Amino acid sequence: MKWVWRILGILAAVLVIAFFAFRVPDTDPAEMRAKYAGEPSQFVELADGREVHVRDEGPRDAPVIMLLHGSNADLHTWQEWAELLRDDYRIVRYDQRGHGLTGPASDDDYSLEGFTADVDAVADALGIRTFTLAGNSMGGWIAAGYAIENPGRLDALVLVDAAGAPIRREGGGNIAFTLAGWPVVGDIMSQLLPRSLVEKSLSQSVSNQDIVTDEAVDRYWEMARYPGNRSATRKRFSTPRSSFDEEEISGIRVPTMVMWGKEDALIPFEAAGWYMDHLPDATLVAYDGIGHIPMEEAPERSATDLMVWLSEMRMAPMEQSMELPTAEAVLTP
């Protein structure tokens, strides 16, 4: 029996040595800020003392669009939208808690309530009263949750391949997200985290493979290893996340654009249909041959669709007021 325990002991020692030998270290915060926080980045201090990596571009008096990235992404996912929209809109985007250069939350809160509280906190810190809120994937889940609780602060809502619908995906998916959801295995893989896994994960998320560049893969890989982000990711994946129900979504009282890639392998196109069935004031824009990240895979088309929709939405009340009969017209026989 002793030889069994000796073999097990040797195997355990080998595994421990292999773990430390192949573990990928955290990135250096100073190097990451130098690489990814150039102009127009700023680090905004919130009321509770936390610092958040923010980019705030465009005319100060223009309508505001706030952009929320998805799981394991960062504010750079909106780069092309920002460049296309910032002449006419004030574009605000930030690295959410546990992501990018913002890093982990000091309270370890990765619930919907924690994320939505940050939307208010960032808007308050920047002196923004009302805004259009757009979110992709996890960011769409957060945006919808915010709209349910804070309709008075929103001009409009944009759900881009948003999480939160009670629709199950059959097959496909994202290998990194799948592994992250497994106990023990997820902990180990988050520490090993080979670059090839990040590249595979990004490739599985999109249909337009042109965006899977070395630069993009490096950014995802380096941001994932920003100090504290790996632990934050594990805590976020272990935090229970429930889907919205019909009553919650039907209670959203702001105009909503539902934007979706028909080839989304993470959140199927059927989820767009569920949102459209239950949102009281929604417009659907769908893209053939596009996957989970339309703002990166088809930036010009998706940004143009957004601008047209926002313009039409803002013109509608003016046109309605012009069509109303005047008092004189009403009184004239």
Instruction: Write the secondary structure of the chain as one string of H (helix), E (strand) and C (coil).
Output: CHHHHHHHHHHHHHHHHHHHHHCCCCCCHHHHHHHHCCCCEEEEECCCCCEEEEEEECCCCCCEEEEECCCCCCHHHHHHHHHHHCCCCEEEEECCCCECCCECCCCCCCCHHHHHHHHHHHHHHCCCCCEEEEEECHHHHHHHHHHHHCHHHEEEEEEECCCCCCCCCCCCCCHHHHHHCCCCHHHHHHHHCCHHHHHHHHHHHCCCHHHCCHHHHHHHHHHHCCCCHHHHHHHHHHCCCCCCCHHHHHCCCCCEEEEEECCCCCCCCHHHHHHHHHCCCEEEEEECCCCCCHHHHCHHHHHHHHHHHHHHHHHHHHHHHHHCCCHHHHHCC
Q: Phi/psi at 160 (nearest 5 deg)?
A: -105, 105
Helix axes 229-238, 214-224, angle to 10 degrees: 80
- End-to-end, the C-alpha distance of the chain in Å comes to 107
Any residues with CB less than 8 A from the CB of 17 and at least 6 apart, and which? none
Amino acid 333: pLDDT: 36
Q: How far is CA 55 from the centre of its chain?
A: 15
Query: Rounded CA gap, 196 and 214, in Å?
Result: 11
Amino acid 12: pLDDT: 43
Tokens of 116: 């939505």
Amino acid 66: pLDDT: 98
Q: What is the pTM of this model?
A: 0.86
Helix axes 138-149, 112-125, angle to 10 degrees: 80
Between the alpha carbon of residue 205 and those of residues 46, 94, 105, 173, 263, the distances in Å are 32, 21, 26, 7, 9
The segments of the chain whose pLDDT lies below 70 read 1-22, 170-191, 316-333
Cis upstream peptide for 40 (omega within 30°): yes
Amino acid 57: pLDDT: 98
User: Of 215, 212, 181, which Cα lies nearest the Cα of 199?
Assistant: 212
